[in-house]
Chains A and B, each alone.
Chain A
Amino acid sequence: MASESTENPASLERAALSRALAGVARQDRAALQEVYCRTSRKLFGICLRIFGERADAEDAMQDVYITIWNRAGSFDPARGNPISWLATLTRNRAIDILRASGRRPTAPIELAAEVADESPDAEAQLVEQGEDARINHCIEGLAKSDAQMIRTAFFEGSTYADLAARVSLPLGTVKSRIRRALLKLRECLS
């Protein structure tokens, strides 16, 4: 069998996943199964982070893969990374389900002290061991409280209004802090 060792595993994986998604777009069940095989651990990790309970996360996963089945045709391999596309689809679908169930988290959040911590948190340490995404480095450069609000918006589906209520700050303050943080993120990411 021919060897593909000259290509790096991450780009091979992306190419294989793009091909499988093209198969799903043709309504090929075996292709969906291959997508599942390659992505279920990662996508389940996202659902579990959002729901906190395995049973809820697995229910959401069923919806996620049905959504992939229905929407694979809208993925354009020329424009995007299939893994990011799937992660975004999963996060958005999970947040939709969370919102529809009326269980969006509303508990107060105590914002971290402004001073950035020198020691990377557990999540950051995990990233260092594996394949990194630049945002995980960039977000560490923000004030911890701003990073915390952005993570909360992403993983808990909190809007500006939700965040303002949860951190007990005026809406305008929360908006301007997050917008400043987003510009700083963009500078680091670009």
Chain B
Amino acid sequence: MNDDDDLLAAELALGLIGDSAATSRRAQDGAFAARVAWWEDQFAGLTTPLAMEPSAQLWPRIAARIPQNDNAPTNVLWWKLTSGALAAVAAISLFMLAQRPQIELPPQPGAPAVASLAGETGSAMAISYDSATRRIALAPIALDPGKGDAELWVIPVGADKAVSLGVFDARKPSSHQLNPAQARLVAAGATFAVSLEQRGGSPTGQHVGPIVASGKMVET
């Protein structure tokens, strides 16, 4: 590619020209399109130093504009109804998720199940779960446990009792492996919820702090 053509690619990438001929050339000429993309990638580097936290209300506004999946209602009545019975299921071994947080979010061989948790205060979390490997990935958004911890709960399909899956790092995505007893509780149709608890999680086996996000798991 000669300099004039390459400069045209750079000018298009930078928006210096509002040239419809160059735009249609990009659509038709693969080599030219590749050069425009190269320049775009280079200029994108100018944004490297920029980062700023948007408000916690932004994600719910975006989520409201994309098609819904089976997302649980944000009312928490069922928690109030079931929380008294939770101690009975506390015997299930609790695995403290926060012990080994991991940066990697899991690859998804086969079809993972996912859940999109949301709440009225703007807190939200994406969950992805692969039953083959029992790996669960958590991507929290605007989840602020203050000086305490966020705790993840599951209500299995057909059950009316919530079981703690442990506390997790509310400030960044993490990935964990469930033990077999926990894995039996997690399947499409199960409901997840996040509560804000004291450090280390609720000591009672039932949620003590507020539920800030909930949602149902669906197969993808």
Interface digits, B1-24 against A, CB 8 Å rule (1 contact, 0 not)? 001001100110011111000000
A19 to B63, CA, bound (A): 20
The distance from the CB of B186 to the nearest CB of chain A, in whole angstroms, is 14
A16 — nearest CB in chain B belongs to which residue?
Answer: B105
A143 within 8 A of B: no
A169 within 8 A of B: no
Hey, which chain B residues are within 8 Å of A95, CB to CB?
Answer: 15
Q: A62-B62, A132-B48, A139-B46 are in contact. Are A12 and B104 (CB under 8 A)?
A: yes
Please count the residue pairs between chain A and chain B whose beta carbons lie under 8 angstroms apart in the complex. 195
Hey, which chain A residues are within 8 Å of B116, CB to CB?
Answer: 29-30, 33
Interface residues of A in 1-55 (CB under 8 A from B): 1, 3-4, 9, 12-13, 16, 19-20, 23, 26-34, 36-38, 40-42, 44-46, 48-49, 54
What count of chain A residues pass the 8 Å CB interface test? 78
Hey, which chain A residues are within 8 Å of B212, CB to CB?
Answer: none
Hey, which chain B residues are within 8 Å of A54, CB to CB?
Answer: 54-55
Interface residues of B in 116-132 (CB under 8 A from A): 116, 124-128
A69 to B63, CA, bound (A): 11
Q: A29-B66, A135-B42 are in contact. Are A20 and B105 (CB under 8 A)?
A: yes
Among B44, B48, B65, B128, point to the contact of A62 (Cβ < 8 A). Answer: B65
The A interface, classified by DSSP as helix, strand, loop or mixed, is helix
Q: Is the CB of B53 within 8 A of A136?
A: no
Q: Is the CB of A178 within 8 A of B45?
A: no
Q: Is the CB of A9 within 8 A of B103?
A: yes
Interface digits, B43-64 against A, CB 8 Å rule (1 contact, 0 not)? 1111111111111001101110
A109 to B196, CA, bound (A): 51
Q: Which of B74-82, B85-93, B144-152, B172-180 forms contacts with chain A?
A: B172-180
Hey, which chain B residues are within 8 Å of A131, CB to CB?
Answer: 48
B37 — nearest CB in chain A belongs to which residue?
Answer: A80
Q: A1-B100, A30-B127 are in contact. Are A61 and B49 (CB under 8 A)?
A: no
A45 — nearest CB in chain B belongs to which residue?
Answer: B50
Q: Is the CB of B42 within 8 A of A153?
A: no
A183 within 8 A of B: yes
A84 within 8 A of B: yes
A87 within 8 A of B: yes
Interface residues of A in 154-186 (CB under 8 A from B): 154-155, 157-160, 163, 178-179, 182-183, 185-186
- Would you list 15 pairs from A and B whose C-beta atoms are within 8 A, ordered by A residue? A16-B173, A28-B220, A37-B141, A37-B173, A49-B50, A54-B55, A61-B58, A66-B62, A69-B66, A79-B37, A84-B41, A91-B47, A123-B49, A153-B16, A186-B10
Write the residues of chain A forming the contact surface with B, with a CB cutoff of 8 angstroms: 1, 3-4, 9, 12-13, 16, 19-20, 23, 26-34, 36-38, 40-42, 44-46, 48-49, 54, 57-58, 61-62, 65-66, 69, 79-81, 83-85, 87-88, 90-92, 95, 123, 126-127, 130-136, 139, 150-151, 153-155, 157-160, 163, 178-179, 182-183, 185-186, 189
